[in-house]
Amino acid sequence: MRLLFLGDIVGKTARISIAENLLIIKKKLSIDFVLVNAENATSGVGLSVSHAKLLFESGVNCISLGDHAFDQNEMINFAEKDSRIVRPINYAKFSPGSGFRLFNLESKKILILQVLGQVFMKKPFSDPFEAIESYLQKYSLKSNVDAIIIDFHAEATSEKNALALHFDGKVSVIAGTHTHIPTSDTRILPNGTAYQTDLGMCGDYQSVIGMEKTEPIRRFITGMTKERFRPAEGEATLSGIVVDINNDGLANKISPFRYKGLLSQSGME
Ligand SMILES: [Fe+2]
Ligand SMILES: [Fe+2]
């Protein structure tokens, strides 16, 4: 099975790129399943229902969210209704929707989990290690699921490294989201889990993590807020990974994927 997993979609330029290019990419790279993080797809804050629908119509199979999961109010109902939306398992005790979702891909069962980190995050989320462990007691590779993919939505590279090495061999893929900058440590861990500390964002990289640069720079220099952040609108790079998962649920190959825009290196153009 071949997975394309894209990092945080930021604003309109990334939504347009997904709508225009995803079906072409899927066909050209023989992608079986597309997971995208879309916590910043609507004006940089959360995900609206119409934008979620656009992503699904463009060829996305599953959408994960993050600490911005419910910034758009309408996601509160939609996350309950649409089983293709995954919010973090440790977001809050009574959050709407679910942090784990099962998908059937022909005869294969794919489990998607999203979990939030604790280090340098604005809110105190519960222990991600314990949260994942509780699901792995119910689901395991080679017994009741064929692939387990974890979106670890966290700030600190150390926390992401630690969690990935701890669960190495028990899941197919662990990839980080949230920082919006791709890391170059793409690899298969010793026991067979595909890993990259952060996938980077799908957005305009001539920006401050996806936002038009003027206001963030002003805030760093003056400490004062003048305007709202708004997503930069230059051409987006779609950034993520492509992973081949074996029949035993472990990874056979992982490659970084960066398509169009400033960071393009996909070799597809
Ligand atoms: Fe985030
Ligand atoms: Fe984000």
Ligand nearest to the CA of residue 36, numbered in listed order:
2
Residue 266 lies in a domain: no
Neighbours of ion ligand 1 (CB under 5 A): 66-67, 178
pLDDT value, residue 93: 83
* 254's tokens: 């992982």
24 compared with 123, residue with greater pLDDT: 24
Any idea what the Cα angle at residue 135 is, between residues 77 and 164, rounded to 5°? 105
pLDDT value, residue 266: 63
Among residues 51, 68, 178, 180, which one is catalytic?
Answer: 68
Enumerate residues 6+ apart whose C-beta is below 8 A from 227.
Answer: 215
User: What distance, in Å, lies between the first and last C-alpha atoms of the chain?
Assistant: 24
Q: Dihedral of CA 210/215/218/224: which sign? A: negative
Residue 185 lies in a domain: yes
- Average pLDDT of span 161-185: 98
Task: Kindly give the distance from the C-alpha atom of residue 247 to the centroid of ligand 2, in angstroms, as a whole number.
Answer: 32
Q: Is 68 a catalytic residue?
A: yes
Kindly indicate the confidence band of residue 254, based on its pLDDT and cuts at 50, 70 and 90: very high
Enumerate residues 6+ apart whose C-beta is below 8 A from 56.
Answer: 63, 84
Strand pairing report for 173-177 and 108-116: unpaired
pLDDT at position 124 over 90 = no
Kindly indicate the confidence band of residue 267, based on its pLDDT and cuts at 50, 70 and 90: low
Residue 227 lies in a domain: no
Task: Kindly give the distance from the C-alpha atom of residue 68 to the centroid of ligand 1, in angstroms, as a whole number.
Answer: 6
Task: Kindly give the distance from the C-alpha atom of residue 140 to the centroid of ligand 2, in angstroms, as a whole number.
Answer: 29
Residue 267 lies in a domain: no
Task: Kindly give the distance from the C-alpha atom of residue 165 to the centroid of ligand 2, in angstroms, as a whole number.
Answer: 23
Residue numbers of the domain that contains 178: 2-204+235-259
Q: What is the pLDDT of residues 9-64, one digit of tens each?
A: 999 999 999 999 999 999 999 999 999 999 999 999 999 999 999 999 999 999 99
Residue 264 lies in a domain: no
Q: Which of 246, 265, 244, 247 is nearest to 4 (CA)?
A: 244
* 18's tokens: 């997904």
Residue 90 lies in a domain: yes
Structural domains counted in the chain: 1
User: Looking at residue 20, which CATH number applies to its domain?
Assistant: 3.60.21.10
pLDDT value, residue 268: 64
